Amino acid sequence: MISEAPVELPHGLMRRAESGKAARAVIAGAVSEVVLESVRLSMQAGLVDPVLVGEPEAIRSAAPDIVDRDVEVIAASGDDELARAAALRASRGDVDMVVKGHVHTDAFMAALLTEEAGIRQPGRRMTHCFHLTLPGHERPLIITDGAVNVAPDLQTKKAAILNAINLARAVGIGRPKVAILSATESPLPQMPSSMEAMALSEWALEHVADADVFGPLAFDNAVSMAAAHLKGVDHPVAGDADILLVPSIEVGNALFKMMVYFNSACAAGVVLGGRIPIVLTSRADSPQSRLASIALAKLSVAV
């Protein structure tokens, strides 16, 4: 059941991201071959001007071609030190994004979310988006939040909707369609996610412009017009969603991994809502996904 189809880089995303000046990117834990290869590819595509955080001799040994381009290198070792050094560098205000390299996620995010790093913004909530594309398809599907907020409350879900809509516009979707997922198309008191979906839909009518937001919708009625028609769901979002707002991190995590492992989707991921975007990568990420994540972060700098 695991797909053997090759992961394809989303060329539309890359074309849009390759225009303009390279973004200044701090790479926390630039010490492994796969991380340095993603940096190399990003530089070749004109996406980033990197700042490498790690052991200088190890970086030079693994990637002399990168270091020889007068790339800034910050000496650090160990998860906590790598994360803090990256956060301090980002706090100087001349950085456009921070990218997770070979460093533990908990240490990485803990350092970036401190007051010292200056990435959190008063009055804004930080949420994660996955930008997924299937082989042979350019249209993305955005899933939020499948990586950061474990049990988001109503206010966090509102922030997730707004962040995802802004990201969708940044990647070229003029009027994004947001499906609020549950396991039903009818609000049911015994299913809290469906009641929240109804509340969010009503809130969006007054507070969200130039986008369509609707729920509750089960997954099939969010992505299949045939399923929506058969069930009598009549709304612009039904069967044509650009964005899926999931009820919990477990749902988002499972959906994105099923698309990656069953359908060879290219998954780019970014944390939004801070002063600058944060790229979260996994050791299991393909080179295409790593590159696409950096491209996505470049496009989302102003989100």
Q: What is the pLDDT of residues 171-201, one digit of tens each?
A: 999 999 999 999 999 999 999 999 999 999 9
- 284 pLDDT more than 80: no
Residues 109, 244: Cα–Cα separation, whole Å:
24
Query: 142 to each of 21, 89, 100, 248, how far by Cα in Å?
Result: 25, 30, 20, 15
Mean residue pLDDT of the chain comes to 94
φ and ψ at 266, to 5 degrees?
A: -90, 115
Residues 106, 34: Cα–Cα separation, whole Å:
20
pLDDT at 193: 96
pLDDT (tens digit per residue) in 131-163: 999 999 989 999 999 999 998 999 999 999 999
Q: Are 217 and 118 in contact (CB under 8 A)?
A: no
The DSSP string of 66-120 is: HHTTT-EEEE--SHHHHHHHHHHHHTTS--SEEEE-SS-HHHHHHHHTSTTTT--
- 1 pLDDT more than 70: no
Does domain 11-176+242-299 match CATH 1.10.10.10?
no
Q: What is the pTM of this model?
A: 0.95
**Cβ contacts of 215 within 8 Å, gap of 6 or more:** 179, 180, 181, 182, 194, 197, 198, 200, 201, 245
pLDDT (tens digit per residue) in 24-79: 999 999 988 889 999 999 999 999 999 999 999 999 988 888 887 789 999 999 99
Higher-pLDDT residue of 114, 68: 114
